[in-house]
A and B are shown apart, each in its own frame.
Chain A
Amino acid sequence: MAARSALSGWLHRAADSDVWWSFKSSPMTVAAAVATFLIVAVAFLSPVLAPHTPFDPATLSLTDGLKPPAMLSADGDWAFPLGTDDQGRDILSSIMYGTRLSLVVGLASVVVAMTLGITLGLLSGYLGGAVDALIMRVADVQLTFPAILVALLIDGIVRGIISVKRHDEIAIYVIVGAIGLSFWVQYARTVRGSVMVEKNKEYVQAARVIGLSPLLIMVRHVLPNVTGPVLVIATINLGLAIITEATLSFLGVGLPSTEPSLGTLIRLGNEVLQSGDWWITVFPGVTLAALVLAVNLLGDWLRDALNPKLR
C-alpha cells in the first residue's frame, strides 16, 4: 500500500518535472527514444524475430549467395528482404543478431567503465594524497590518448600474451575490457570532484564523530549527487562504445567473423564493395548509424535537460 502510493507519487512528480516537460516538448528526442527502444527490442528478440539463423552453416546455401535486396530489385528473393552476402547469409537476420552483439558489448563496456571510474573516483577523492595523485596522473596520461588508441593497444597486448585461437574465444571479453578501460576517466573525475566537495561538509565530520564510517556515509550521499552527470556521461559513452567496438571489429581486431557484430558485418561487406554489391555493407552501416544517432540524441537531450545553465 505504502509502496504503491510512493510509486504513484513518484510518477506524479516525474510527470510534472521539468525533465519530463523538456522531453515531451522535443519531438526529436521522443523520436530518438522510440527508435532506440525499437532497435533494442528487435535486437534482443532476434532469435524469435529473425527469419534465418545466419551463422549456422547448416542452413546456408551458396545458391542463395549475393541476392540483391528484394524490396529494391526484381532479382531479389522475398525470403531475403535485404538481400544476402556471398555466403548466402540473410542480411536482415545478420543485422538483427549483429545489433544485439553490438549493444551487449556497448552496454557491458559502459558498465565496466562506470564501475571502474566510480570506484577509482571515490577512492581518489576520499583517500587523497599519493593515491589521488597516482590515479589522477594516470587519468591525465590516458586522456592524452584517444580512447580508440588505448583500446587498440590493450587488444594488441592481449594478443601478444595469448594465442590467436584462444583469442577468438575470449574476444568479446577482451573487447569489453579494452573499451571499458579506455573510458573510465570521465566518471572518475566527476565522482572525485563531488567527493572533494562533500568531504568537508559537516555531516561527514559528524558521522566520523559518532563512529560511523565516513566512507560509507559519503558513498550514500555522493552517489545520488552524481547520478545526473554520470547518467549523461554513460549515455554519451554508450554511443562512443558502440562506435569503438564497430571500429575495432571493422579493423579486424574486434569480434571474429564467426560471431559478427555490426562492425564485422561492415568489414565483410567492404571486402566485396568494389564489385558493386553495396547492400552487404550499407544496411548494417545504416543500422549502426541509426542506433548511434538515436543514442546520441538522447544523450544530448539528457545533458541539456539536466544542466539548467545551458537552457
Chain B
Amino acid sequence: MIAFILRRLLQSIAVLLAVGVVAFSLFRYVGDPINAMVGQDTTMEERAELRSKLGLNDPAPIQFLNFIGNAMQGKFGLSYRTSEPVGRLILERVPATLELSLCAAVFALFVGVPMGVYTGLYPKHWSSRLFQAVSLIGISLPTFLIGILLILVFAVWLRLLPSFGRGETVQIGWWTTNFLTWSGLKALILPSITLGLFQLTLLMRLVRSEMLEVMRADYIKFARARGLTNRAINFGHALKNTLVPVITVTGLQLGALIAFAIVTETVFAWPGVGQLFIQSVQFSDIPVMAAYLLLIGLLFVLINLTVDLLYFVVDPRLRSQGGAARVAGH
C-alpha cells in the first residue's frame, strides 16, 4: 500500500513537471516576458540589459528551475493586459470559482447518484425511462446553452434570480464568500445548476449502468439465493460495488467542473478564475495562461491523489500488498 501511494506520488510529480514544462515554454517562448515590463520607447540596449538581468540568457534548464521556483512563491510576473501581478489577480478570484464548483458538485452528487440508483434498480419503470431520456438531453445540451436558457426563464422572463455577478459577498481574511448573504446565495443558484447539470446527468448514467452491471453479478444472485432482503442487496451489496467507478469519475469530473467553470463564469459574468483565463486567451495574456495552467495542474493532481486514497477505504482487495501492485500496474 505504501509502495502504491509512493508510486502515485511519483506519477503526480511527473505530471506536474510536464505541466510545468508546458507552462514554462508558454511563458518563455510564446510570450516575451520583456514586452510585459517595458514601454514602447525602450531601446534595444535597455531591453538586452534587462534580458540578462532577468536571467533570460541563462541555459533553458536554469530558467525553468527559476520559473518553477518563482511559481512556488506565487510569482508569475505581470499580466500583459492589466499590468497587475498575476499571483494576486488569480488569488482574488479563486474563492468565487471554488465556491461555485463546490455548490455544483454537491448538487450533481446529491441528485445524480440517487437518480442513478433508482433508474438502475428499476430500469423498466416509466419514470426511469423518463430520467434516462432527460439525461440524454442533459448531456447533449452544451453548458453555455443551459445557462442561457436558465437566464432567459428565471432572470429575463420571471425576474426571480439574478443573471450575473456574485451579488453581495462577505470578506473573511483574503477569502470572499457568497454563503453569508441572501443575495450571494441567490446569485449562486443559476450558475451552480448550470455547472452541475452536465455532471449530474453523467453521474446518473454512470451509476445506472454500473448498477445494471453489478445486479447481474454472481454475488448478487447468490445474495438473493441466501434470501437477503432487497434493501440489503440493493444498498449493501450492489451500491457499494458501484462506488469505485463512481469515485473515479467524480474525481475526474471535479476537474472537469473547474474547467467548465470557465464557460459558466463567462455566461453569468461570475468573477472567477475561469473568466480571467478566457480573457487571457482572448488577449493572449501569456503569464496568466501559464499561471492558470499550473494552478489547474496542481488541483487535478491533488484530486487524483485523493481519489486513489479513497479506493483503499472502499475496496479491501487493494489494502493487501499484492492487490495494490496489480491495480497500480493496471
What is the predominant secondary structure among interface residues of chain B facing chain A? helix
Give residues of chain B (132-179) contacting chain A, Cβ–Cβ below 8 Å.
Answer: 136-137, 139-145, 148-149, 151-152, 156, 163
- List chain A residues, Cβ under 8 A from B139: 296
- Measured CB to CB, the nearest residue on chain B to A300 is B136
Give residues of chain A (254-311) contacting chain B, Cβ–Cβ below 8 Å.
Answer: 263, 266, 270, 273-274, 276, 278, 281-282, 285, 288-289, 292-293, 296-297, 300, 310
A161 in contact with B152 (CB, 8 Å): no
* A36 to B: closest C-beta gap in Å: 12
B26 in contact with A148 (CB, 8 Å): no
- List chain B residues, Cβ under 8 A from A157: 26, 30
With the chains together, A292 CA to B143 CA distance in Å?
Answer: 13
- List chain A residues, Cβ under 8 A from B282: 159, 252-253
Give residues of chain B (36-94) contacting chain A, Cβ–Cβ below 8 Å.
Answer: none
With the chains together, A288 CA to B286 CA distance in Å?
Answer: 32
A152 at the interface (CB under 8 A from B): yes
With the chains together, A292 CA to B142 CA distance in Å?
Answer: 9
Known contacts A144-B255, A156-B280, A251-B266; is-contact A273 B30 (Cβ 8 Å) = no
With the chains together, A137 CA to B19 CA distance in Å?
Answer: 12
B141 in contact with A289 (CB, 8 Å): yes
With the chains together, A218 CA to B149 CA distance in Å?
Answer: 50
With the chains together, A251 CA to B144 CA distance in Å?
Answer: 9
Of B111-119, B185-193, B231-239, B257-265, the one contacting chain A is B257-265
B156 in contact with A273 (CB, 8 Å): yes
Partner of B148, one of A155, A247, A270, A300: A270
With the chains together, A285 CA to B147 CA distance in Å?
Answer: 11
* B10 to A: closest C-beta gap in Å: 12
B18 at the interface (CB under 8 A from A): yes
- List chain B residues, Cβ under 8 A from A297: 136
- Measured CB to CB, the nearest residue on chain A to B152 is A278
B280 in contact with A247 (CB, 8 Å): no
B284 at the interface (CB under 8 A from A): yes
A288 in contact with B263 (CB, 8 Å): no
A66 at the interface (CB under 8 A from B): no
A141 at the interface (CB under 8 A from B): yes
- Measured CB to CB, the nearest residue on chain A to B205 is A300
Known contacts A145-B259, A300-B136; is-contact A285 B149 (Cβ 8 Å) = yes
B296 in contact with A149 (CB, 8 Å): yes
A146 in contact with B280 (CB, 8 Å): no
B152 in contact with A282 (CB, 8 Å): yes
Known contacts A152-B262, A273-B156, A276-B156; is-contact A288 B278 (Cβ 8 Å) = no
With the chains together, A266 CA to B152 CA distance in Å?
Answer: 13
B273 at the interface (CB under 8 A from A): no
B286 in contact with A160 (CB, 8 Å): yes
- Measured CB to CB, the nearest residue on chain A to B289 is A156
A274 in contact with B156 (CB, 8 Å): yes
With the chains together, A297 CA to B156 CA distance in Å?
Answer: 32
Which has the most chain A C-beta neighbours within 10 Å: B141, B145, B262, B263?
B145
* B151 to A: closest C-beta gap in Å: 7
Give chain A's interface residue range (CB within 8 Å of chain B): 35 or more
B300 at the interface (CB under 8 A from A): yes
B304 at the interface (CB under 8 A from A): yes
A247 in contact with B140 (CB, 8 Å): no
* B146 to A: closest C-beta gap in Å: 9
A145 in contact with B300 (CB, 8 Å): yes
Task: Digitize B274-307: 1 where CB-to-A-CB distance is under 8 Å, 0 elsewhere.
Answer: 0001101110101001000100110011001000
B152 in contact with A273 (CB, 8 Å): yes
* B175 to A: closest C-beta gap in Å: 25
Known contacts A149-B259, A247-B263, A282-B152; is-contact A160 B30 (Cβ 8 Å) = yes
A251 in contact with B262 (CB, 8 Å): yes
B152 in contact with A281 (CB, 8 Å): yes
B15 at the interface (CB under 8 A from A): yes
With the chains together, A156 CA to B25 CA distance in Å?
Answer: 13
- List chain B residues, Cβ under 8 A from A140: 15
With the chains together, A141 CA to B23 CA distance in Å?
Answer: 14
A184 at the interface (CB under 8 A from B): no
* B165 to A: closest C-beta gap in Å: 13
A253 in contact with B140 (CB, 8 Å): no
With the chains together, A152 CA to B26 CA distance in Å?
Answer: 13
* B90 to A: closest C-beta gap in Å: 16
B137 in contact with A266 (CB, 8 Å): no
A247 in contact with B142 (CB, 8 Å): yes
Partner of B144, one of A156, A159, A247, A274: A247
- Sample 21 A-B pairs with CB under 8 A, ordered by A number: A137-B14, A137-B18, A140-B15, A141-B18, A144-B15, A144-B304, A153-B289, A159-B281, A160-B26, A247-B263, A250-B144, A251-B266, A251-B278, A251-B281, A253-B278, A266-B145, A266-B148, A278-B156, A281-B152, A285-B145, A293-B136
Name the 8 nearest CB pairs between A and B, nearest first.
A293-B140, A156-B281, A160-B284, A146-B259, A160-B30, A292-B140, A159-B284, A149-B259
- Interface residues, chain B, CB within 8 Å of chain A? 14-15, 18-19, 26, 30-31, 136-137, 139-145, 148-149, 151-152, 156, 163, 209, 255-256, 259-260, 262-263, 266-267, 277-278, 280-282, 284, 286, 289, 293, 296-297, 300-301, 304
- A250-B266, A288-B142, A310-B209 given; 13 more Cβ-contact pairs under 8 Å: A144-B15, A145-B300, A146-B260, A148-B262, A149-B259, A152-B262, A156-B289, A247-B263, A273-B152, A289-B140, A289-B145, A296-B136, A296-B139
